[in-house]
Structures are given as C-alpha cells and as structure tokens.
C-alpha cells in the first residue's frame, strides 16, 4: 500500500508541502471521478465482482447436504467438512463470511434453499453499488468547490 502510494506521488515528492498536497488532492479527485464513471454503468445492487462470485458459488451447491434446525440456522455438510450457518447473524463456523463480508459456500448453499434469496441482504454493505456512486463527488461539483478555495 505505501509503495503504491509513493509511486503515485513520486513526481511531487521533492516539491514544497503545499504543492504536494495540491497534487495529491488533484489525483484523488481524478481517481474518484474515474470510479464514478465506471460505477455509473453498474446495473445490479451489488458490485460486479460480487455478482459474479455469487453466480459462481451457487453452481457448486449440489455437493452439500443441509440439515436445517430453524428458519435461519442449519448445519451444512460437505464431503470432508461440516459447518454451522446462522443467516440472521451472517455467520458460518468456517469464518469466511465474517471475514470477507460475502456468504461462504456453506451459507450460500443454505441461502439457496430459502424462499426469497435476496442476495444483497446477505452481503456486506461495502459491496453495494450505492456506496460507489457519489453524486456530490463528481468532477464538476468537486471543481466548483475547489475553485472557491
């Protein structure tokens, strides 16, 4: 992370602090503008790589057996593993769901059996498209704010 940041500001490294800060501000503005343009083409509720992950993970569900105990809890058994899934807590004993914010294979298998598989409700908020589209941070509005300074 620090190496990429240093490469990012290399040309401004020997400049006075004010120029360095201004250059970093401009680069951040450009980066946000580019991200805003890219994210404006996203049509789903989740970012594309998460949509793809969910499509992929749900194709592997036939290798597991589900032993449901309540509406939101189940044991999911694979060939060499067994994990407890709690949909309400967004928790699986394998730990992947808690760490990544995306349902692991065990929880995905269980979610597929529920009546309404609203995947966006099981994915961490950071993977929702609305988090990436900031109308107030478009390049035009940012430039208007910056020009006042």
Cα–Cα distance between 125 and 52 in angstroms, integer?
17
Residue choice 47, 54, 74, 94 for contact with Zn ion (CB under 5 A) = 94
Q: Confirm or reject binding of residue 47 to Zn ion (CB under 5 A).
A: no
> Could you tell me the smallest distance in angstroms from the CB atom of residue 101 to Zn ion?
13
From 21-29, 52-60, 106-114, 129-137, give the range in contact with Zn ion by CB under 5 A.
106-114
Other beta carbons less than 10 A from residue 118's beta carbon: 11
* DSSP secondary structure letters along 9-77: TGGGTTS-HHHHHHHHHHHHHHHHHHHHHHHTT--SSB-HHHHHHHHHHGGGGGG-EEEE-SSSEEEEE
Q: Confirm or reject binding of residue 104 to Zn ion (CB under 5 A).
A: yes
Q: Confirm or reject binding of residue 102 to Zn ion (CB under 5 A).
A: no
> Could you tell me the smallest distance in angstroms from the CB atom of residue 50 to Zn ion?
16
How is residue 88 annotated by DSSP? T
The number of residues that bind Zn ion (CB under 5 A) is: 5
Cα–Cα distance between 147 and 135 in angstroms, integer?
18
Q: Confirm or reject binding of residue 129 to Zn ion (CB under 5 A).
A: no
Taking residues 58 to 87 in sequence order and writing x for each that binds Zn ion by CB under 5 A, - otherwise, the string is -------------------------x----
Which residues of the chain form contacts with Zn ion (CB under 5 A)? 83, 92, 94, 104, 106
């Amino acid at each position: 992370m620090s190496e990429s940041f240093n490469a990012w500001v290399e040309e401004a490294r020997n400049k006075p602090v004010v120029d360095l800060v201004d250059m970093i501000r401009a680069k951040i503005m450009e980066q946000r503008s580019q991200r805003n343009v890219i994210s404006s083409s996203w049509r789903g509720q989740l970012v594309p790589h998460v949509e793809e992950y969910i499509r992929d993970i749900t194709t592997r569900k036939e290798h597991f057996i589900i032993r449901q105990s309540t509406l939101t809890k189940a044991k999911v058994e694979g060939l060499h593993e067994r994990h407890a899934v709690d949909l309400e807590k967004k928790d699986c004993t394998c730990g992947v769901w808690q760490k990544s914010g995306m349902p692991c294979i065990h929880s995905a298998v269980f979610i597929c059996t529920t009546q309404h598989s609203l995947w966006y409700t099981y994915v961490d908020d950071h993977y929702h498209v609305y988090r990436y589209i900031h109308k107030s941070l478009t390049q035009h509005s940012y430039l208007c704010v910056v020009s006042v300074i």
